[in-house]
């Protein structure tokens, strides 16, 4: 099987930079076809559930107002904003709805535009990231090149300071700059821009008319430019940073074994299965765990995969503390290789 076909559901030509020739595992056409089936009803349930959680959180915080409750609510809303963005990412790969036009409109109106980004604009950048992963043409790599915040390993005080600035909103300007650099407005039809900014005008008018401008700032803008930045930083580190790439069959990609708490706060919608997504982006988020289990059963995957236990383990690797055992679960602090290997086997 040609591994370029793993991105067959996307309109971009196939290819994964250096990965395409280095994947030592194979899926049959039948396995990949079954794993790639889109379930529109399930996708709509997930989108509705995330918006429902945000509305419920706002109601509870307003009903039982307390400053500490607000801090918790803001952090939780940011985690749900992240979940919506992960769903947008599935929409970028046409994994939400079978009808591509409806898929794109859901991705924009329900998921991207509320976060002040465009799914169509992000798609061009993201497909280039898949195609040229970890090469000079990878747009994500080019964007971060020369930035000391992305030069790993970082010293513990430097990483702590960076995450604190993220969580408190002091790095919000950096997020705005990143969003602007991803956008490519010249590739978007004028009529789409008119619809998008018409959406913003109508939404803002409705918010002002309802007297909810303060609530909008408290429960949407502040979480987005504080806790969401913090979450996105950790997720970005986990996916492609703090990894010993040269000895890996999968250059600079990490899958993280997330606890149930981490799945709520940091890794919703199985976004922690990042190796799996790069190999087979046609697989929607709700089938990534099955894909992970399938790959673990294949000879060669476990030996080359960089799998880290927990996001705390990711941070340990990012400051150069965690031991590295190729093919095993990483991020175990002082654990022995044998114990780490048994942990990996238990998850398979």
Can you name the residues that pair with 308 across neighbouring β-strands? 256, 330
Q: Tell me which of 44-58, 99-113, 127-141 is least confident.
A: 127-141
**Backbone phi, psi, residue 16, to 5°:** -130, 35
pLDDT digits over 27-77, tens only?
999 999 999 999 999 999 999 999 999 999 999 999 999 999 999 999 999
pLDDT digits over 179-205, tens only?
666 665 456 788 889 999 999 999 999
d(CA 275, CA 291): 10
**What's the pLDDT at 68?**
97
d(CA 248, CA 122): 28
**What's the pLDDT at 25?**
79
d(CA 108, CA 119): 6
Buried b (16+ CB within 10 A) or exposed e, 264-279: ebbbbbbbbbbbbbbb
Residues in the chain: 348
For 5, the token pair is: 């076909």
Instruction: Over range 89-97, report the average pLDDT.
Output: 98
111 neighbors 83 (Cβ within 8 angstroms): no
Task: Tell the residue number behind the tokens 């929409």, with chain if given.
Answer: 91
Q: Over the chain, what HEC string results?
A: CCHHHHHCCCCCCCCCCCHHHCCCCCCCHHHHHHHCCCCHHHHHHHHHHHHHHHHHHHHHHHHCCCHHHHHHHHHHHHHHHHHHHHHHHHHHCCCCCCCHHHHHHHHHHHHHHHHCCCHHHHHHHHHHHHHCCCCCCCHHHHHHCCCHHHCCCCCHHHHHHHHHHHHCCCCHHHHHHHHHHHCCHHHCCHHHHHHHHHHHHHHHHHHHHCCCHHHHHHHHHHHHCCHHHHHHHHHHHHHHCCCCCCCCCCCCCCEEECCHHHHHHCCHHHCCCHHHHHHCCCCCHHHHHHHHHHHHCCCCHHHHCCEEECHHHHHHHHCCCCCCCCCCEECCCCCCHHHHHHHHHHHC
pLDDT digits over 211-263, tens only?
999 999 999 999 999 999 999 999 999 999 988 755 555 778 999 999 999 99
Domain count for the chain: 1
pLDDT digits over 275-288, tens only?
999 999 999 999 99
For 339, the token pair is: 């114990």
* Residue 234 domain boundaries: 3-347
pLDDT digits over 149-180, tens only?
999 999 999 999 999 999 999 988 877 776 66
pLDDT digits over 305-333, tens only?
899 999 999 999 999 765 444 445 554 43
């Amino acid at each position: 099987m040609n591994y370029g076909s793993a991105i067959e559901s996307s309109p971009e030509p196939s290819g994964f930079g250096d990965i395409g020739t280095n994947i030592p595992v194979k899926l049959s056409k039948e396995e990949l076809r079954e794993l790639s089936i889109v379930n529109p009803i399930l996708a709509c349930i997930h989108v509705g559930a995330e918006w429902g959680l945000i509305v419920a959180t706002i109601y509870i915080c307003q009903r039982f107002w307390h400053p500490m409750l607000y801090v918790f609510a803001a952090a939780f809303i940011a985690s749900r904003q992240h979940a919506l963005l992960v769903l947008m990412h599935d929409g970028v790969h046409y994994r939400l709805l079978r009808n591509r036009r409806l898929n794109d409109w859901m991705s924009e109106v329900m998921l991207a535009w509320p976060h002040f980004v465009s799914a169509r604009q992000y798609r061009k950048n993201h497909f280039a990231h898949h195609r040229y992963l970890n090469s000079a043409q990878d747009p994500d790599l080019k964007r971060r090149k020369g930035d000391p915040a992305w030069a790993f390993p970082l010293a513990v005080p430097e990483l702590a300071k960076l995450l604190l600035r993220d969580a408190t909103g002091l790095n919000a300007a950096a997020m705005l700059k990143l969003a602007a650099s991803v956008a490519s407005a010249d590739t978007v039809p004028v009529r789409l821009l008119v619809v998008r900014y018409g959406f913003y005008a109508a939404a803002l008018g409705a918010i002002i008319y309802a007297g909810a401008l303060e609530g909008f700032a408290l429960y949407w803008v502040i979480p987005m430019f504080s806790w969401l930045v913090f979450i996105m930083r950790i997720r970005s580190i986990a996916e492609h940073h703090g990894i010993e790439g040269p000895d890996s069959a999968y250059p600079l990609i990490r899958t993280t074994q997330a606890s149930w708490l981490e799945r709520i706060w940091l890794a919703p919608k199985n976004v922690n299965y990042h190796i799996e997504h790069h190999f087979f982006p046609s697989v929607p988020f709700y089938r990534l765990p099955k894909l992970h289990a399938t790959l673990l059963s294949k000879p060669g995957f476990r030996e080359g995969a960089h799998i880290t236990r927990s996001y705390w383990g990711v941070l340990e690797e990012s400051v150069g503390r965690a031991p590295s055992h190729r093919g095993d679960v990483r991020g175990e602090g002082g654990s022995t290789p044998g114990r780490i290997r048994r942990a990996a086997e238990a998850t398979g």
